[in-house]
Amino acid sequence: MDSKKKLIIVSAVVVAVVALAMAMFGVPPTSDDVVGTMKGIKGVEQADRDVSEQMNSDDVILEYPEIQALLQNDQILAVVKSEGFQALVNADASFDEMMAYITEKVGDDVVASTIAQQDMGIGREVGREVGREVGREVGKEVGREVGREVGKEVGREVGKEVGKEVGREVGKEVGKEVGKEVGKEVGKEVGRIN
């Protein structure tokens, strides 16, 4: 066989193998299997978007906020990126050794003020939370006391009014009964006298 015939036969076999593989593995996909973002194409279903809530400060918990504050200071960050500091990291230096190196390069005042600023931020957050809790508790207690006093006053007033009304009704009924009995007795006496 010449090379042209071999090429045609090999090509035909490759095409047959590819066609067989496509048929076995679902290529192209059926219209039920297609999900995408293209609208208007027959057989293509719009994909669902991943919708999630935005992260907020409550979702991020820092174990060592002081270190985070230090890494946000430009002077300290420059020292951390320096070759000398990187050499300490590669030599598995202790945390105290690394902090001593940073302090030596930028000075105690920069490190202390950066940490103090972080502590003030933490203090503000703690103060807010304590304020909220104290406010809730004070509000509850004031609400209870006001409720008690209002309840007492309303009870007194309602009691007075109910007492007056009950007194009137009881007085009327007692008066009627007494009047009947007195009338009977007076009538008997008048009848005896006549």
Question: Who wins on pLDDT, 184 or 41?
Answer: 184
Every domain of the chain and the residues it spans: 65-171
Q: How confident is the model at residue 42 (pLDDT cuts 50, 70, 90)?
A: low
Q: State the virtual CA torsion across 109, 110, 112, 114 in degrees, nearest 10.
A: 150
Average pLDDT over residues 177-191: 78
Q: In Å, how far from its chain's centre is CA 30?
A: 43
CA–CA gap between residue 76 and residue 79 (Å, rounded): 5
CA–CA gap between residue 101 and residue 114 (Å, rounded): 16
Which residue's entry shows tokens 């290529």? 27
Pick left, alpha or beta for residue 107 (phi over 0 → left; psi -120 to 50 → alpha; otherwise beta): left
Spell out the long-range contacts of 165-168 with Cβ–Cβ below 8 A and sequence spacing 24 or more: none
CA–CA gap between residue 94 and residue 112 (Å, rounded): 20
Question: pLDDT tens across 108-162, in order?
Answer: 787 777 766 665 665 667 667 777 887 888 888 888 888 888 888 877 887 788 7
Predicted pLDDT of residue 168:
81
Predicted pLDDT of residue 45:
62
Given a cut of 60, is residue 40 above it in pLDDT? no
- Please state, in angstroms and as integers, the Cα–Cα distance from residue 131 to each residue in 75, 98, 120, 145, following that order: 35, 38, 16, 21
Q: How confident is the model at residue 19 (pLDDT cuts 50, 70, 90)?
A: confident
Q: Which of 30-44, 112-126, 156-170 has the highest mean pLDDT?
A: 156-170
Dig out the tokens for 50 from the structure.
């991943």
Question: pLDDT tens across 60-113, in order?
Answer: 666 666 667 777 778 878 888 888 888 888 888 887 888 888 888 888 787 777
